[in-house]
Structure formats: structure tokens, C-alpha cells
């Protein structure tokens, strides 16, 4: 079966080159149906309000739709603003947010195990 992956940029800015599909396939497999979207700060704030009941724009949100499909929303504006706090380039931080979202779709929760896995995957893809 061929991979099922869609990536949409709903912002005005460009998105850095990151091997999103290869990373997705490595973590979730080729048969996992993933939709990823880069959204504006206003869109991220609206979705965060609706789903997490917090009045802020999240940097990444993951939504499992079934055991074999899900959606990731990333806000590049928030990622760009937060990257220096983590001593990361914008590109690296954006890629790490994508990895973080994928691991949530895989069922992982925040903690040392998830952080270790994130670092390992980032290193594998030279991020």
C-alpha cells in the first residue's frame, strides 16, 4: 500500500524543508493516514480554546481519528517565537514539534521516555 500523507500550509509564510513524510513513515508506518496542516496563530488559538479550554495558541496539536489515522496542526508563528527559548533553529524546532505530534498519535505521553525517543528520531533525521 502506498503512503497516505497530506501536508497543507494555511499560512502566508513558507515552511522550511523537512522530510515530513519520511519522518511520519518511520514513526507511524506507511499505512497510517496522516493529515498535517500549518495554521495561523488565530486558528491555533481557536482550536486550543475549543479542544483544551485554554486561551492561547498551541505550537502543536495532535488528534487521533482512528487507530490508523490522525491529524496534526502546527502553528509556525508560535514555533518561530519559541525556538530561541529551546536554543533551536526555527527549522529544527518545527521538525521536533512534528515528531512530538507523531509520538502522541502513536500513544506516547509526556515524560522522559518520550523526550528520549524525540531526540533519537531527530538525530536519525539530522535535525
What b/e sequence results for 14-32 when a residue is b if at least 16 CB atoms lie within 10 Å of its CB, and e otherwise?
A: eeeebebeebbbebbeeeb
Q: What is the pLDDT of residues 37-59, one digit of tens each?
A: 999 999 999 999 999 999 999 99
pLDDT at 47: 97
pLDDT at 1: 47
Phi-psi label, residue 92: left if phi above 0, alpha if psi -120 to 50, beta otherwise: alpha
Domains in the chain: ranges and CATH: 4-124 (3.40.390.30)
Termini Cα distance of the chain: 28
Confidence grade of residue 97 (pLDDT, cut at 50, 70, 90):
very high
pLDDT at 2: 57
Amino acid at each position: 500500500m502506498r503512503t497516505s500523507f497530506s501536508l497543507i500550509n494555511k499560512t502566508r509564510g513558507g515552511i522550511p524543508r523537512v522530510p515530513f513524510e519520511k519522518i511520519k513513515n518511520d514513526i507511524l508506518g506507511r499505512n497510517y493516514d496522516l493529515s498535517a496542516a500549518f495554521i495561523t496563530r488565530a486558528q491555533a488559538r481557536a482550536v486550543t480554546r475549543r479542544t483544551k479550554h485554554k486561551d492561547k495558541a498551541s505550537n502543536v496539536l495532535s488528534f487521533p481519528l482512528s487507530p490508523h489515522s490522525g491529524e496534526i496542526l502546527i502553528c509556525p508563528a508560535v514555533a518561530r517565537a519559541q525556538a530561541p527559548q529551546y536554543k533551536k533553529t526555527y527549522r529544527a524546532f518545527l521538525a521536533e514539534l512534528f515528531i512530538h505530534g507523531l509520538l502522541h498519535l502513536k500513544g506516547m505521553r509526556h515524560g522522559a521516555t518520550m523526550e528520549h525517543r524525540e531526540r533519537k528520531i531527530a538525530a536519525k533525521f539530522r535535525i
